[in-house]
Chain A
Amino acid sequence: MRGFKRGKTKKYEDKLKMKGTHLEEKNEIEFTEEIEQNEKLLKEIFLNCSDLEYRWIEDQANMRCLIVYINNLIDEKLLDEHVIKPLLIRDIPNEANDLKNKWISIGTTNSSAKLSDTVRNLLEGHAAVLISGSSHVMTVSIPGSSKRSLDEPSSEPVIRGPRDGFIEHISTNISLIRARLKTSKLKIEYMTLGELSQTRIAISYLKGIAEDTLVEEVRARLLPIQLDGVLDSGYIEEFIEDQPYSPFPQVHSTERPDVVAAELLEGKVAILVDTTPFVLIVPMTFWTGLQASEDYYIRWPVATFVRWIRFLFINFAIFAPPLYVAITTFHQEMIPTNLVLSIAASREAVPFPAMIEALLIEIIFEALREAGIRLPKQIGQAISIVGGLVIGQAAVQAGLISAPVVIIVSITGISMFTIPRYSFANGIRFLRFPMLFLAGTMGLYGIVLGFLGIILHVTSLRSFGVLYFSPITPLKFTALRDVFIRIPIWMKFRHSIKPKSREEGN
């Protein structure tokens, strides 16, 4: 693990160097004072890009001005009203700065002599205004690309709590966080990742609450990422996590702005990625995976109870089928006589060993789940009927599969959905299969081995310097108030997990 870490840092450094050189060569080209020359430069870059519009304006004094924009990315109304109209009504100025100061009534403008800056701005929904005789090109931000409305996040629904979710638009997402944390301490640092996608990434944290070292670490891990396109925060997640071979997610991803705000208040760092509603939060601990945002909105005794239900069912999710297989094939003496006889009765006609049976049903269940996600919504019902009826009843009646296994797998299926974090639930789901295999070959001994393996792995995992299993290992009693129980909020607001345990752990 440590060796792996060293290797990773070295790899990062190499990549950083490569990236630096790549950017420099692009930066070299600059605009000239000849407007035709500048037009040619842009046309060369945007060859065969039919969505690029060039609009010439000429005044009485023969001053010429060229407005360039990508017509799908900007708001044409704004362009007409605030850029073209002033230029048509009044004379065209000599300087790009005058244009900004006296003509254009739009908030965000940029002025640069570099071609690369202008090109990037154009692609982000700016309109560029070129003036003859000026080597500076001004860009006006009038983005108008379509975005969807704020919906309730479908992966993390709540009954009580805010219902807005992030969308595929970073500025909206930031505004959602800002709306919850109205403080200048909330910092948003932009950066761009993706060679071709040029995706905007925002690192967000609360200055003074988040550890500086943590923020520094996040910057250091994000900077060297080299990708052609960043299409979802999942791309970033795989680059910045500590242990890429683990089934457990070490970066918390959420669609809920209230979750992000709460985590920021705990001193964590959020990474927002444009074009995806999923925001990454680091560091993540095991217990984060078992806490729903709603825990903090409902009354605390209920929230505590619900948490224990989750603790119970996460164990069911991993251990219920393996325990069934292990006990019925290796330790029949552990089952009460009446129960063993009814299990034996239901297994009487089944031709497969218990492990094969359980594996079969588990895999079919997984397939059903996968099909349920991928299928068009209209067919979803059909698949649930087919799945429930065919597998639940027909298979049992046909004597291919015994009823207890179906019950066990159903319980497991339900318990998986009690885990509030989707990516965490995925990790847990995946663990069942090796456990099942161990149980089927070695019985309870195998389950104990597997359990030890999981515990060893989880306790040695780290997420951005924080031990994954903290605050249980290393044990910190004060923090337990928000793990096994959810103390009333008036007692103390949420506890922050600091990467101090990095030193303790090593």
Chain B
Amino acid sequence: MRMGKGMIFLVFVILCGCWDRTEINDLAFVTATALDLSDDGNVLCSLQIAIPASIEGGSRSGGEANQFFIISAEGKDGNEIHRKLQKKSSRILFLSHRSVIFVSERLAEQGIGDILDIFTHDPRNRLKTYIMVVKGGEGRNILKMNYPLKQVSIEAVKEMEISGEDVAVTLRDFFMAQASEGVHPVVGTIEPDVHSKDTDKEIFNFAGAAVFKDFKLYGLLNDKDTMGLLWVTNKLKTGRITTNLHKGGEVGLVLSQAHSKIITQNLKNAVQFKIQLEGQGSLAENTSNLDINEPKNLKIIKNELENAVRKQVQDFLFKIQKKYKVDSVGFGQEVYKNYPDKWAVLKPNWNTMFPKATIAIEVNLTVKGAGMVHSSFGSQDEGDEK
């Protein structure tokens, strides 16, 4: 009997093991994907594959060895493309380590719903992969970029995204926003930097956000708009605000905390929103001749900064409300959360209602410290003379 049990156990071990065993050196680690629109309307998919041997530092890889290579394939749907790509790779394509997907602006405008479908089904695709729109360029050019800092350029992308000042949207966030009531997804954008074309190395630049609706790109937001978006959606972690004072000179503030609250006011026929923005930070720059040791002056600066923020957010809201007409912030969602009955009525017409909604902005900044230097050099000199 004992023997029998042992045999059964042995059979389990012998028969069920090994079938999905893949050695680590039989895998091709895909670190990034770029999706572009080809000339004949198909999707051109490029994969950036890390070359592990070059990473082992020191003796073996003398000189400038390539740290990655790129394979591309064209096709109509994700499955077909994957098959074609696999044929081009001698090793099994391993997608779990992919950190980012770049979608070219052209493809995004045409719609990415179909091509993204494969990411929702195949479990080897991680939903934690970031998605980004390449502003004014092809995705594969980003992949080919010879970025000086990291061995695989995509690592740099990922780390910058995690740093928290820019829109970092994963596939999961994207799909969730897509499926939620009363909100439309936003995606970060990237562009190859034009200023350093002369050198050997290339860099890239985060260029705000892209507004999506129904899997289609509706418009782009610039840097300042993006900050407004992040602040309003309560995702801003840190940031810098600068403004010109009326009396001349500039002041800059480094935000250490930023919060927001959207208050929905229920009216009979329409809805009104009030955005309460709160921020805390310390002065980083002061080129005016205001002495910030004076609470009075500090108050002036505070008011000016608040106005600047209000202006910035207003610009952003104008863009999404009037220009793109896409509810990226999720005002609809606020209604849905607070007044579900009302949302049921509003929902069919929300596309036309949203651009007309009244949105009030209330900014409350707290200038915590004056920074290391209490007044600017100029004003200090004046003080000494007095």
Chain A residues with a Cβ under 8 A of chain B: 328-330, 332-333, 337-338, 340-348, 350, 353-354, 437-438, 440-443, 446
Contact = CB atoms under 8 A, between A and B. Distances in A.
Given A337-B29, A337-B97, A330 B21 contact: yes
Given A341-B50, A341-B52, A345-B52, A446 B29 contact: no
Interface stretch (B10-18, B175-183, B274-282, B295-303): B10-18
B56 A333 contact: no
A454 to B, nearest CB: 14
A337 B94 CA distance: 11
A354 B23 contact: yes
A446 B17 contact: yes
B21 A346 contact: no
A470 B363 CA distance: 63
Contacts of B25: 344, 347-348, 350
A342 B99 contact: no
Contacts of B94: 332-333
B344 interface: no
A47 to B, nearest CB: 49
A381 to B, nearest CB: 29
A344, A346, A347, A446: residue with the most chain B Cβ atoms closer than 10 Å: A344
A443 B23 CA distance: 12
A343, A345, A348: residue with the most chain B Cβ atoms closer than 10 Å: A345
A332 B24 contact: yes
B339 to A, nearest CB: 43
Contacts of B97: 332-333, 337, 340
Secondary structure dominating the interface of A: helix
A344 B31 contact: no
B101 to A, nearest CB: 15
Interface string B74-109: 000000000000000000001011010000000000
Contact of B22 (A329, A340, A341, A437): A329
Contact of A329 (B16, B23, B29, B56): B23
A333, A341, A441: residue with the most chain B Cβ atoms closer than 10 Å: A341
Given A337-B31, A338-B155, A344-B27, A329 B21 contact: yes
Nearest to A328: B24
A342 B56 contact: yes
A345 B53 contact: yes
B126 to A, nearest CB: 8
A22 B188 CA distance: 92
A440 B13 CA distance: 10
B64 interface: no
B55 interface: yes
B294 interface: no
Given A353-B23, A441-B13, A344 B29 contact: yes
Interface string B139-160: 0000000000001100100000
Interface in B349-385: none
B292 to A, nearest CB: 45
Given A332-B24, A342-B52, A337 B99 contact: yes
A330, A332, A350, A354: residue with the most chain B Cβ atoms closer than 10 Å: A332
A340 B55 contact: no
29 contacts: A328-B24, A329-B24, A332-B24, A332-B27, A332-B94, A332-B96, A333-B94, A333-B96, A333-B126, A337-B31, A338-B155, A341-B50, A341-B55, A341-B151, A342-B52, A344-B24, A344-B25, A345-B55, A345-B56, A347-B24, A348-B52, A348-B53, A437-B13, A438-B13, A440-B17, A440-B21, A442-B13, A442-B16, A446-B17
Given A342-B56, A345-B53, A442-B16, A354 B24 contact: yes
Task: Place the interface of chain B in its size category.
Answer: 20 to 34
Contacts of A350: 25
Contacts of B152: 341
A338 B22 CA distance: 19
Shortest 9 CB-CB distances between A and B: which pairs? A441-B17, A333-B96, A344-B52, A345-B52, A345-B56, A337-B97, A347-B25, A442-B17, A328-B24
B18 A441 contact: yes
Nearest to B60: A345
B200 interface: no
Contacts of A354: 23-24
Nearest to B96: A333
B22 A332 contact: yes
A332 B92 CA distance: 12
Contacts of A329: 21-24
Given A332-B94, A442-B13, A443-B20, 4 more contacts: A328-B24, A333-B94, A438-B13, A441-B17
Contacts of A341: 29, 50, 52, 55, 151-152
B14, B21, B31: residue with the most chain A Cβ atoms closer than 10 Å: B21
Contacts of A348: 25, 52-53, 56
A96 to B, nearest CB: 59
A396 to B, nearest CB: 11
Interface string B51-79: 01111100000000000000000000000
B20, B31, B52, B53: residue with the most chain A Cβ atoms closer than 10 Å: B52
Nearest to A357: B23
A330 B20 CA distance: 7
A415 B369 CA distance: 52
Contacts of A347: 23-25
A442 B10 CA distance: 13
Nearest to A434: B13
Nearest to A325: B21
A327 to B, nearest CB: 9
A354 B24 CA distance: 8
A341 B53 CA distance: 8
Contacts of A344: 24-25, 27, 29, 50, 52
Nearest to B59: A397
A334 B16 CA distance: 22
B124 to A, nearest CB: 8
Contacts of B31: 337
